[in-house]
Structure 1
Amino acid sequence: MSDDKICVAAIAGAFGVRGEVRLKSFTAEPEAMADYGPLSTEDGGATYSVTLTRPVKGGFAARLTGVATKEQADDLKGTRLYTDRDALPNLPDDEYYHADLIGLDVFDTGGVKLGAVRAVHDYGAGDMLEVFGPGLKTTVLIPFTNACVPTVDLAGGRVVADPPEGLFPDE
C-alpha cells in the first residue's frame, strides 16, 4: 500500500436490493468520505464515485458507480476504499491523521525505546495509541493526550511518551 493513499471508508455489505451499499466511514466528519473525489480499492483495481443516499445504522447507504444490483454490492463486502492523501484537508499543528501515527517508534522521555504504534483507537473518551515493543507480551494502550504524549515528530518517525506509571515493565 502506497503512503499517498488513505483509507476513508469500508463497504459493510449491500443495503436493499437495488445496488446500494452500506458504508462505514473512517473520517472525522463521517459524511465527508464522499467529498474526497472518486475512491479506489486498495490495489487501485477499481474506482467508484460515491453518492450518499441516507444515514443508516452504523454508517451510510450509498450508491457507487458501476454497482447496480444487490449481488454486485454483496460481492464488495469488506472492501476498503481509499483516497489520495492530497485530497484530505491540512490539519492544525496539534492534530494528526491516524495513518501518520501508525508505525512511529515510541520512546520514553529518557530516550528508551518502548515500541512502535500499531494502531490508534477511540473508545469514546479520546484517542489511545496501541503500542507493542521489546519486553511486552501484549500491546499497551497509551492515552493520546499532551500529558502522556508530549512530542510527535512525524519527520523523525517517532513520538515521545510519558505513560502513566506501571504500563510498561521495568518502570
Structure 2
Amino acid sequence: MDVVVGRVAKAHGIRGELAVDVRTDSPEARFALGSVLAAKLRDGTSRDLTVAAARYHSGRLLVRFEEVLTRDVAELLRGTLLLGSTDALPPTDDPDEFYDHQLEGLAAELADGTRIGTVKEIVHGPGGELLVLVREDGSEALVPFVRQIVPTVDVAGGRVVVDPPEGLLDAD
C-alpha cells in the first residue's frame, strides 16, 4: 500500500532541489539517500524518483532527486504528491506509536460510543500532532493527538476514542 509522505511545495535554487511539505512522521527513513518514491504528478501520471540528497533549511525539507537536474524540471513538479510504500516501514515496538497510514480511516467515537466522524489525516505541526476528523455532517475538526484527548487508539478495532474538552468539537 502506498501512502503520501510529502508534497512538493516549490523549486528551490537552480540545481533542481525541491522544497517538500513533509506528510510522514519518519522523514529520515522516507527521504533517506537512495530511497525511491512514487511521484503522482498533477496530470495523474506517476514516475519513480530516487532521493539523491535531503536536508532541512529554514524549517522545510529540501530534497534533490537523481531524475531532477534543473530548476525547470523542478518547477514542473510543484504540487506533486510523493508516495512511499508501507511495506518498507519497520514495525513499531512502542504500543503508543503509530504510523499515519494506520490512523487514517479509523472511526472517531466519544467514550459512550457515539460516532463523531472519521480520521482523514494527521497534521504534524510545530506544537504537536493533530488528527483531522471529517465529522458526520462533512465538516472538519482538528483534535490534538494527545493521550488526555485521545485516550484510546484501537487500530485492530478500527477506531479512536476522543474525550474532547468542552467546546473543542463545537461547530463555528
Q: Which residue of 1 aligns with 2:104?
A: 102
TM-score (norm 1): 0.79
Q: CA deviation at 1:74?
A: 0.7
Give the one of 121, 124, 133 matched to 2:123.
Answer: 121
Larger Rg: 1
Asked whether 1:21 is paired with 2:21, we answer no
Q: Distance in 1 between matches of 2:120 and 2:140?
A: 8
> Any stretches of 5+ residues in structure 1 without a counterpart?
none
What one-letter code is carried by the residue in structure 2 that aligns with 1:19? G
Q: Distance in 1 between matches of 2:124 and 2:6?
A: 16
Q: CA deviation at 1:125?
A: 3.0
Report Cα offsets for 1:2-57 as digits up to 9, x if no partner: xx112222222222223332333333354433227211123672001111154323
Higher strand share: 2
Q: Distance in 2 between matches of 1:56 and 1:158?
A: 37
Answer with 40-49 or 21-30: which moved more: 21-30
Change in 2 beyond 3 A, CA 1:108/1:65: same
Secondary structure at 1:46 match in 2: strand
TM-score (norm 2): 0.79
Q: CA deviation at 1:73?
A: 1.0
Aligned residues between the structures? 165
Asked whether 1:7 is paired with 2:9, we answer no
Q: Distance in 2 between matches of 1:52 and 1:145?
A: 33
Q: Distance in 1 between matches of 2:138 and 2:9?
A: 32
Secondary structure at 1:17 match in 2: coil
Q: Which residue of 1 aligns with 2:38?
A: 40
Answer with 84-93 or 44-53: which moved more: 44-53
Q: CA deviation at 1:108?
A: 1.1
Change in 2 beyond 3 A, CA 1:66/1:159: same
Secondary structure at 1:86 match in 2: helix
Q: Distance in 1 between matches of 2:128 and 2:46?
A: 35
Q: CA deviation at 1:75?
A: 0.5
Q: Distance in 1 between matches of 2:2 and 2:90?
A: 14
Q: CA deviation at 1:96?
A: 1.3
Secondary structure at 2:122 match in 1: strand
